[in-house]
Structure 1
Amino acid sequence: MSDEKKEIISNVMSRRKLLTTMGIAGVGVALSSFGVTANTAHATPSYPTTIGTEMLSDFGIVNPVSLFGAVGDGVADDTAAIQQALDTGKAVYLPRGAYRVTDTLVFKKSGSRLIGEGTYSLLALPMIPFGTVIISEVPSGKPTLKVPDGLQHVDISKLTIKRLITSVAGNTGLYFEGNSNLCSVRDVEISGHYVGLWLGSTGYSSVENLFSHDNYDHGVYMVNSSINGSLQWQFNNVLAQLNNSWGICVQSAVNSVGFVSMGNMFKLNTFGNKSGGICFLGRADTPINGIRMDNCFFGEDGGDEIYLDTYGGGSHKIQSTYTEAAGTGLTGVGQMTPASGVGHGLKVTANVYSVNVCDCFFINHSYNGVDCSAAQSVITGCDLRINGRAGVSGTQIGISIAGGQSLITSNKSMGQQFGVFLNNDGYHMVSQNRLSQNTIAPIAAAVSIPNSVITPNITAG
C-alpha cells in the first residue's frame, strides 16, 4: 500500500474515532404508538457523507449517500439513489438515517448486499434514528425489498423496514421470490406490512435475529416454488409478534418434486399473533417433511401455539420448547383484538404421520396442552399444567390422543380435568407419568382399550 493511501486511511479512522468519542447530542423522544423510547434524536442528519468514501470503495462497498445523492432525512425520496447502488451488485452501505422509498427496491445480481447501521424502532419524522430505517411508501400490492427468483449469496442486514401507510396483499416487507441459495437475513426488523418476511425455496439460507411485528397478515411466510420443494431456511432467534394472522406460517405448494423439506428452526418466538403462533400447512400431493424445532417459545397467541397439518411426510421433532396461554390475551396489530378463548399448546392433525415431542412445556392454554391425532406419536419428559382454561367440554386435558398410536412416558400432567385422555385403542403405552391433581381422573379413555398398556403412573400427591 502506498504512503498516500496509508495516510488517507489513517485520517479516516482518526476522524471516525473522534466522531464516536464525541457522540451526537439530541432531544429525548418517546412514541407510545410504537412502544419504543429513544434517549436521543436529532433533527437533521449530522453523519458525514464523504468521509471514508475512498476507503469503502476499495473494499467494494457502495454508499448511496455519498455516491448517488441519497439524503436519509425521512422526507426526500431516496428510491432512485438506493436502486442505483443496488444495480452495481456490490455491497451497499446505508448509514444511519431514515430512507423514504416509493417503489420496490430490487436486487439485480447474485452476491449483492444491503447493510445498515442497525435496527431502530423509533421514527418521528423528521427525527433521524440511531440506526438505519427504510420507510416504505411503495404502492399497493408491491413489496418494499425484492430478491428475484434464482439470485444467490444475497445478504440483507442491520436495518429496519417500516411501513406507515395502509398495507394490502402484496405489500411484503422483504420478499425472497425463491430458488435461491446461501442468502441471509440478519439483524432486521420489519413492521406495518401485509406480510413481514416472505421466503421462497432455498437449498440452504439463513434468518437470524429477525423481529417481524404489527403486520396485517403473517409475520413470516414460507412457501416452496413450483419446481423446488426445498424450504431449508435455517432459523435462529426470530420473534414474530402482534401480527394479524400467524406469527410464522409454512405452506406447501404444488410442485413436481412432490414434498417440502425443512431446515432447522432454533429459538423461534411468537407473541400475540391473531391466528396463532406457528403453523405448517402441507398438501396431500406435497407433504411437509422433517420439521425440527428446538428451544422455542410460543405464548398468548390467538389460536393454537403450534399447529401441524403436514399430510404425511417424515417424522417431526419438537424439543425444549415452551408454550403458554393460547387464546388468553389481546392480539393482532397494536394488541387491539380481544382474547379469543381458543387454542391448544400443540395441535397435530390426522394428516401427520409421526411426531416426537420431548422436554416441552404446555401451560395455561384455553384448550388442551397437546391434542394429537398423528399416526404415531411419542411424548416424553413434558410438563403440562392448568390447560383447558376456556372450560369447554373435552378440552380440559393435558395430553389428548385422538387417533393413531402413542408412547406417553415420563411426563408431568397436572391441574386439568384429565392428565391423559385416550380416544381410541391404537396400541398406546402410558408409563411412569405424574398425573396427580387432575379434577376428574388422572387417565381415562373414551373407548375400551384392551390393546393398550397402562403401567404404573403416579396419581396421588
Structure 2
Amino acid sequence: MRATISVISLLCLLVMVGCSGQTIPVADGGTAAPQPLSLSGATLSGTLTFPAGFMTSVKSYGAVGDGVTDDTAAIQSALSDGRSNATEDYNGLPKALYFPPGTYLVSNTLQWNGCCVTLQGSGSSSSIIRLAPSSSGFNNSSAPKPLIQTPKGNQSFRQSIWDLGFSVGSGNPGATALSYVSNNVGSIHDVLIKSEDGTGHAGIDLTRQWAGPMMIRNTEVQGFDVGIDLKNAEYSITMEGITLQNQNIAGIRNSNQAISVRGLTSTNKVPALTNTGGFVILLDGSLSGGVDTVSAIQTNSNLFLRNVSSSGYEATLQDSSTSTPTLTKGTISHLVVGTPSTLTGTINTIGLNLAVQETPSFTSSSLTDWAVFTPKWYGDTSGLQAVLNSGKHTVYFPFGQYFSSNETDVTVPDTVDRIVGFSSVVNLGSGTNGGGIRFVVTSNSSQPLIIEQFGYGIKIDHRGSRPIVLKDAHINNYAAYAGAGKLFLEDIGISGLTVQKGQQVWARQLDNELNGTKISNLGASLWIFGLKTEAAGTVINTTSGGKTELLGSLIYPSTSVPTSQAAFISTDAQVSYMYKESVYCSGCGYAIQVQETRSGVTKSITSPNSNPFRMPLFIGYK
C-alpha cells in the first residue's frame, strides 16, 4: 500500500506560502513529554595548558602578543608559510598554529590559501586577536571587511578556530570578526567574539559560498549588527551552546540555509533569530531583553521549536509563512512551521523526543598526565602501544603528518581517557587493510574514551561497553560490535556508520558521503542533530526495534538516484525526521522519501525526483 503526497502538499512544503494550517502550536499533544531545558549558551573556560612543542607557535614567526606591537605581518607570515599557491590541494599538508597567551594586535585581514588550517588558542580570555581601533578599510559598513577570512568553499575542508578571543576595536563599523567557511568537518568552538563599541557588520559571517557542513559550539558574540549571518542553501550548519548579546539587527540572520541550533541564549532588543526561506531547528532557547514591538523569532519558512522561551518581546514567534501571519506568545514546548507527515494516521508534532546526553569531555590539569607519541621515522608506529600502556591519562600526537602503510592495531587500556591528534593526519598506505591506525576498545569501563582532532587516518573498533567520544575528526572507519557502549559523535566526517542493537548514540554535525546505505541502525537509540549527506543510497535504515530521531539535515544526492531507492527506511522501528533535500539535476532526488514497514505492510511517501523536497517533520509508528 502506497501513500503519495499530493502536488498541493508538496508545493506547501517547498514554498511555505499560501497554504493553510501550517503553523501548529501544541500545548497538549504528543505521546512523549518534552525534555526539560538542558543546555544554555556558551560557558567559556580559563587558560588552557599544553605540552611544549605540541604545535608551532606564531611567536616563532615574530608575533609578540603584547597588545601594542602590530603583529599583522608576523601572523600573516605564519599563515602563508608553505602556502603560496591558492589553487593547490593542501589536504595532505595541514597547518596548525598556536597562539600562546597574549593580545595580538592586527590592522588588516588575516587569510590563507587552501584547506585544513587550525588556529589554536590557550583560551578565549587569554589568547586574543584584536583589531586595532579605526583600522584602514574597516570603516564602511556597506563594504564589510573581515578580521579573519578562511578560503571559500566547497573544498575548504577542516578549517578550525578553537579557544581564541576576537576583539574589534572601536571605530571599525565595517568589520566582520570571522568570515568563515569550512566543509565536511571544521568548527569554531570555545570562542568569544566582541565589538568594543558595539558596531561592526557581523561576528561570524557564513554568507560566502559555500559554508558547511560545519559546527559552531560554545561560542559567544557580543555586539555587531548581526551575531551570526547565514545566506546560502548549501550546506548545513550545526550550533550548540551559543550566547548572543546586544546585536543591532538580529542575533542570528538566516536566509535559505539549513541550520540546527541547540542551547541558544540571546539578550537582545532586536530579534534573536530571523529565518527567510531557510530550514531551522531550534531546541532549548532562552531569548530575553526584547521590546514589545518586536518578536523574538521571525520566520516565513520551515521551523521547528522545542523548549523555547522569551521575555520582553511582543511574542516568541512571528510566523508569516502563510497568508495569515500568526503570533505565538510565551514558552513554546514544541511547534512546527510546516505540515507534519505520517503513514500511521496519527500526527504528533513533537517528534520522537529521545533523551539527550551532553558530549563528555576530559581535561588534565597536570602535564605529567600526558604521554607523547614520537615515531622514530616517518611511518614508524611500533612504539604507539607502549605509549598507550604508559599509565598516562592523555596520549597526544604533536601536530604533523604521520604514516602507517600497514594498518597498525593498538588496544586502548582503561588508563587512557583521551587521545588527541592536534589536527594531525595519518596518511594511509597500500599495505594491510589500507594502512592507518586502528584503536581497539575492548574495555567495559564506564569512563568515556575521547578520541579527537585527527584530519584522517583513524579507525575505531568498539568491542566493549566503554563509551567512546569522537570529536573534530574525519574517521576512516568505525566498527561497532555486539555489546558496544555509548557513542558520541561531534563534528565528524565518516563514510558509512552502523550502530548495534542496544547502543545509545548521540551525533552532532555528522557528514556522511558514502555511495550506499549511509547509516544503519540495527536496534540502537540514535539521535542526530545536524546531518549532511552526498551521493545516492539510503540515508538511514532503521530496523530491529531501533529508534532514530533526525533533527535537521541536508540531503544532497548530487547524482542520479535509482527510483526504487528510498531516502529513509524503517522496519518495525520508531523514527522521526526533519530534513531538506537539494536537487539540481533531473532524477537527482529521491522518488521515495520515506518507506515504513510495520508487521509486513509497507507504506511510502513519494515525491518528484527532479524537484527539491522538504520534510518539516515525519512521525513514524510509535
Q: What is the TM-score with the length of structure 1 in the denominator?
A: 0.52
- Aligned partners of 1:198 and 1:221 also within 8 Å: yes
1:296 Cα deviation (Å)?
Answer: 1.5
The residue type equivalent to 1:146 in the other structure is Q
The residue type equivalent to 2:316 in the other structure is G
Cα distance in 1, alignment partners of residues 204 and 336 from structure 2? 31
Q: Structure 1 residue 362 and structure 2 residue 330: aligned?
A: yes
- Aligned partners of 2:319 and 2:325 also within 8 Å: no
Cα distance in 2, alignment partners of residues 181 and 107 from structure 1? 19
Identity of matched residues, %: 22
Cα distance in 2, alignment partners of residues 238 and 374 from structure 1? 23
The residue type equivalent to 2:305 in the other structure is I
Note closer, same or farther for the CA distance 1:380–1:232 as it changes in structure 2 (3 Å cut): closer
Unaligned regions of 5+ residues in structure 1, if any? Answer: 1-39, 42-46, 121-130, 253-259, 283-287, 327-342, 364-368, 382-461
Cα distance in 2, alignment partners of residues 270 and 148 from structure 1? 29
Give matches, 1:370-385, under 5 Å.
none
Which of residues 261, 265, 285 in structure 1 aligns to 2:261?
265
Q: Structure 1 residue 63 and structure 2 residue 47: aligned?
A: no
The residue type equivalent to 1:263 in the other structure is I
Question: Which residue of structure 2 lines up, in the alignment, with residue 37 of structure 1?
Answer: none
Give matches, 1:4-43, under 5 Å.
none
Which of residues 297, 300, 308 in structure 1 aligns to 2:299?
308
Cα distance in 2, alignment partners of residues 323 and 276 from structure 1? 11
Q: Structure 1 residue 194 and structure 2 residue 201: aligned?
A: yes
1:243 Cα deviation (Å)?
Answer: 1.2
1:188 Cα deviation (Å)?
Answer: 0.8
Question: Which residue of structure 2 lines up, in the alignment, with residue 6 of structure 1?
Answer: none
1:62 Cα deviation (Å)?
Answer: 1.7
Cα distance in 2, alignment partners of residues 175 and 70 from structure 1? 22
Question: Which residue of structure 2 lines up, in the alignment, with residue 332 of structure 1?
Answer: none
Cα distance in 2, alignment partners of residues 98 and 241 from structure 1? 23
Cα distance in 2, alignment partners of residues 354 and 316 from structure 1? 14
Q: Structure 1 residue 72 and structure 2 residue 65: aligned?
A: yes
Which of residues 162, 171, 195 in structure 1 aligns to 2:167?
162
Name the SS for the 2:73 alignment partner.
helix
1:354 Cα deviation (Å)?
Answer: 12
1:324 Cα deviation (Å)?
Answer: 1.9
Structure with bigger gyration radius: 1
Question: Which residue of structure 1 lines up, in the alignment, with residue 321 of structure 2?
Answer: 350
Note closer, same or farther for the CA distance 1:242–1:102 as it changes in structure 2 (3 Å cut): same
Question: Which residue of structure 2 lines up, in the alignment, with residue 219 of structure 1?
Answer: 227
Cα distance in 2, alignment partners of residues 212 and 87 from structure 1? 28
The structure in which a higher percent of residues are strand is 2
Unaligned regions of 5+ residues in structure 2, if any? Answer: 1-45, 82-93, 139-143, 341-346, 351-622
- Aligned partners of 2:159 and 2:182 also within 8 Å: no
The residue type equivalent to 2:266 in the other structure is T
- Aligned partners of 1:187 and 1:209 also within 8 Å: yes
Note closer, same or farther for the CA distance 1:271–1:231 as it changes in structure 2 (3 Å cut): farther
- Aligned partners of 2:120 and 2:164 also within 8 Å: yes
How big is each residue's C-alpha offset from its partner over 1:323-350, in whole Å with a ceiling of 9 and x where there is no partner? Answer: 2221xxxxxxxxxxxxxxxx32111003
Note closer, same or farther for the CA distance 1:211–1:373 as it changes in structure 2 (3 Å cut): closer
- Aligned partners of 1:90 and 1:113 also within 8 Å: yes
Question: Which residue of structure 2 lines up, in the alignment, with residue 10 of structure 1?
Answer: none
How big is each residue's C-alpha offset from its partner over 1:389-442, in whole Å with a ceiling of 9 and x where there is no partner? Answer: xxxxxxxxxxxxxxxxxxxxxxxxxxxxxxxxxxxxxxxxxxxxxxxxxxxxxx
1:380 Cα deviation (Å)?
Answer: 7.2
Name the SS for the 1:320 alignment partner.
strand
Give matches, 1:320-339, under 5 Å.
320-326=307-313
Cα distance in 1, alignment partners of residues 336 and 183 from structure 2? 35
1:52 Cα deviation (Å)?
Answer: 6.8
Question: Which residue of structure 2 lines up, in the alignment, with residue 100 of structure 1?
Answer: 105
- Aligned partners of 1:149 and 1:180 also within 8 Å: no
Note closer, same or farther for the CA distance 1:180–1:230 as it changes in structure 2 (3 Å cut): same
The residue type equivalent to 1:317 in the other structure is F
Give matches, 1:84-163, under 5 Å.
84-88=77-81, 90-120=95-125, 131-137=126-132, 138-139=135-136, 140=138, 141-150=144-153, 151-163=156-168
Cα distance in 2, alignment partners of residues 292 and 189 from structure 1? 23
1:353 Cα deviation (Å)?
Answer: 11
User: Comparing both chains, which one has the higher relative contact order based on Cα–Cα distances under 8 Å and sequence gaps of 6 or more?
Assistant: 2
The residue type equivalent to 1:234 in the other structure is T
1:230 Cα deviation (Å)?
Answer: 1.8
Name the SS for the 2:201 alignment partner.
coil
Cα distance in 1, alignment partners of residues 300 and 348 from structure 2? 18
The residue type equivalent to 2:206 in the other structure is L
Name the SS for the 2:221 alignment partner.
strand
How big is each residue's C-alpha offset from its partner over 1:351-400, in whole Å with a ceiling of 9 and x where there is no partner? Answer: 49999x9xxx816xxxxx99x9967599979xxxxxxxxxxxxxxxxxxx
Q: What is the TM-score with the length of structure 2 in the denominator?
A: 0.39
Name the SS for the 1:263 alignment partner.
strand
Runs of 4 or more, structure 1, over 4 Å off, are 351-355, 372-381
How many residues are aligned here? 267
- Aligned partners of 2:67 and 2:104 also within 8 Å: yes
Question: Which residue of structure 2 lines up, in the alignment, with residue 392 of structure 1?
Answer: none
Q: Structure 1 residue 276 and structure 2 residue 271: aligned?
A: yes
Name the SS for the 1:82 alignment partner.
helix
Cα distance in 2, alignment partners of residues 69 and 185 from structure 1? 25
- Aligned partners of 2:115 and 2:151 also within 8 Å: no
Which of residues 301, 305, 309 in structure 2 aligns to 1:318?
305
Cα distance in 1, alignment partners of residues 238 and 102 from structure 2? 30
The residue type equivalent to 2:275 in the other structure is F
Note closer, same or farther for the CA distance 1:379–1:306 as it changes in structure 2 (3 Å cut): farther
Name the SS for the 1:83 alignment partner.
helix
How big is each residue's C-alpha offset from its partner over 1:60-113, in whole Å with a ceiling of 9 and x where there is no partner? Answer: x22111x11111000001111111222245110000000000110103221100
- Aligned partners of 2:318 and 2:325 also within 8 Å: no
- Aligned partners of 2:188 and 2:215 also within 8 Å: yes
Question: Which residue of structure 2 lines up, in the alignment, with residue 294 of structure 1?
Answer: 283
The residue type equivalent to 2:283 in the other structure is D
Cα distance in 2, alignment partners of residues 62 and 158 from structure 1? 16
Cα distance in 1, alignment partners of residues 318 and 176 from structure 2? 28
Which of residues 236, 240, 244 in structure 2 aligns to 1:240?
244
- Aligned partners of 2:123 and 2:164 also within 8 Å: yes
The residue type equivalent to 1:264 in the other structure is S
Cα distance in 2, alignment partners of residues 206 and 267 from structure 1? 13
1:161 Cα deviation (Å)?
Answer: 0.6
Question: Which residue of structure 2 lines up, in the alignment, with residue 256 of structure 1?
Answer: none
Note closer, same or farther for the CA distance 1:104–1:197 as it changes in structure 2 (3 Å cut): same
Cα distance in 2, alignment partners of residues 374 and 94 from structure 1? 44
Q: CA RMSD in A?
A: 3.4
Name the SS for the 1:84 alignment partner.
helix
The residue type equivalent to 2:249 in the other structure is S
1:179 Cα deviation (Å)?
Answer: 7.0
Name the SS for the 2:176 alignment partner.
coil
- Aligned partners of 1:62 and 1:90 also within 8 Å: no
Cα distance in 2, alignment partners of residues 230 and 354 from structure 1? 28
